[in-house]
Chains A and B, each alone.
Chain A
């Protein structure tokens, strides 16, 4: 009785061990073939962000990567929880779009201990220890502002009275796009910003501010520079209502490159938009693959943003997904 029971146990144990070994061999084999990557996204607050999510999802399925997606609904604590969950699930790499700049060290240290590389997308973090992440893939807002200024200088022969529509005061894109633009027009003495007010990145803000400025300090305007497309689209309406022809009487240029901007360019009301590319999927997964191979990556990979004007808009419009 005793012996038989012992034998049964032994048999059961060996079967269990054998099957476990086989299973782990299979899973190892599978892991060899299929990567698992966790993506901690901020949320879905704008068309731009949705486009970014779509890009990463579609790139993952294209490369046969098993993607674990988490939407933090704009909250850092949710993102930290998501990253911890990814570590616990033993993902191969993590892509993180940090909602704020600070407070990431503890959770990123946990990821480093688990030897999971972290790729940051679209926004950076503030940390003394740069080894906590593999690389940051983002647009350079200063460069976007400068590209806009250079395009305007070329278009107007270095002569313009500009109304600037700023983004939300204190927001990184607003600060940097202003800085870049100011640097870009510095060399041209006849390019002046005659009025600069915040339209809060809103369509209604762009319209209200332009409407007011056109009757005051901005009456002699020849160009409107907006920190995002939405404000430019609002400004276009205000210009039309003031009896000016946006696109011809007054040059209008902005940043982001959303679909609405391309439609306005095709209608010859917007002159130029500098793209702020949300389609970071391919670059993010390139970085993940390199990091997993142990290649050294630069700490910042700048996304190449392109300038579109009314000449190139019609050809690009069908490709716009956001």
Chain B
């Protein structure tokens, strides 16, 4: 035992994938604790928590939601590039409805989410029924979706003061931003559905070997369409949050490039782009990692033109740690040193 000082650490380098994103996140937090005084300061204001950590949860909620949907798609071996544009559509529809139609709020949310879920279904049909490569199938809606959103809002930024809609992105529940509740709810329901029923197994089997899954009697087309529809739904909720947060539907800018953040969160979280095994919690940690990184740049006062460089370094480091080959290399170095 004493001869091998790395005995405790060694299994980490070859073991569970969730460890690395968590370690990355912790490193960032420790870094902030040292260099950014006040990072962990939390106070109670008007009955809710107030501080940088709360901001990270709140601002990160959009990518977390997108990442939940994206994880399931990536598990089936696909990818969804249209989520950013779907956020724009959701925001546009909701803003137009609250400003121009006297509908109950539930109906407005229902219409909005139904629309994005239908758009997601269309993606799924293109992928599963028509057989188009996911990256191309969803690219169509990524490009067209923003145009549709601009059409809905007539190219203008629509502002609103509708109290229930404003609450979605700005309200508080249980002393935390309401968005945290939304994320936890979505995560809880998705985890239960994928881990306590056979759905998770279906997803992984489709991602691992679609043909084998079909021969086993799994309706692979249906599985795929459902995950794309679900991703559309998640994008809809994220779009509502983003729009509500600034009390305006900014169709041309909302959710821009966020599809890439979501994919990054999923991959860093430990789900491989090749499909198969997936971890929802890992994706959430990945999303938190991105948001913490962004906030850290603000806190340190890194000039915005330079900020992408340190961000990229952290991202590369975490991705390297995720790579099994790279870890084996490190392990062998440790092994040699002991001998």
Contacts and interface: CB of A to CB of B under 8 A. Distances in A.
Interface of A: 44-47, 50, 166, 169-170, 195-198, 200-204, 207-209, 211-213, 215-217, 219, 230, 233-234, 237, 241-243, 260
B159 A204 contact: no
28 contacts: A47-B155, A47-B157, A197-B297, A197-B298, A197-B301, A197-B304, A198-B307, A201-B253, A202-B250, A202-B253, A203-B246, A203-B250, A204-B246, A204-B250, A204-B253, A207-B245, A207-B246, A208-B59, A209-B298, A211-B59, A212-B295, A212-B299, A215-B38, A215-B51, A216-B52, A217-B299, A217-B301, A219-B38
A216 B38 contact: yes
B298 A212 contact: yes
B242 interface: yes
Contacts of B1: none
Contacts of B247: 237
Nearest to B296: A212
A241 B297 CA distance: 22
Given A204-B253, A233-B248, 4 more contacts: A47-B155, A170-B305, A197-B297, A215-B55
Contacts of B41: 215
B119 to A, nearest CB: 22
B221 interface: no
Contact of B245 (A201, A204, A230, A242): A204
Contact of A241 (B36, B156, B170, B250): B170
Contacts of A213: 298
A169 B305 contact: yes
Interface string B293-311: 0010111010111010000
User: Which secondary structure dominates where chain B touches chain A?
Assistant: loop
Contacts of B86: none
B253 A203 contact: yes
A207 B254 CA distance: 13
A47 to B, nearest CB: 6
B252 interface: yes
Interface string B27-49: 00000000010110100010000
A234 B156 CA distance: 16
B54 to A, nearest CB: 9
Nearest to A203: B246
B304 A169 contact: yes
A74 to B, nearest CB: 11
A111 to B, nearest CB: 30
B38 to A, nearest CB: 6
Nearest to A205: B253
A209 B59 CA distance: 11
Given A47-B157, A202-B253, A211 B55 contact: yes
Contacts of A237: 246-247
Given A45-B252, A198-B304, A212-B55, A204 B242 contact: yes
Interface string B139-176: 00000000000000001110100000000001000000
Nearest to A167: B304
B156 to A, nearest CB: 6
Nearest to A45: B252
Interface in B1-42: 36, 38-39, 41
A177 to B, nearest CB: 14
Nearest to A200: B253
Given A216-B38, A237-B247, A195 B301 contact: yes
B36 A216 contact: yes
B210 to A, nearest CB: 38
A216 B45 contact: no
Contact of A215 (B52, B245, B301): B52
A215 B305 CA distance: 22
Contacts of B304: 166, 169, 196-198
Contacts of A230: 157, 250
A233 B250 CA distance: 12
Interface in B281-301: 295, 297-299, 301
B299 A216 contact: yes
Contacts of A211: 55, 59
Contacts of B156: 47
Interface in B235-261: 242, 245-248, 250, 252-254
B246 A44 contact: no
Contact of A260 (B157, B170, B253): B157
A47 B156 CA distance: 6
A312 to B, nearest CB: 22
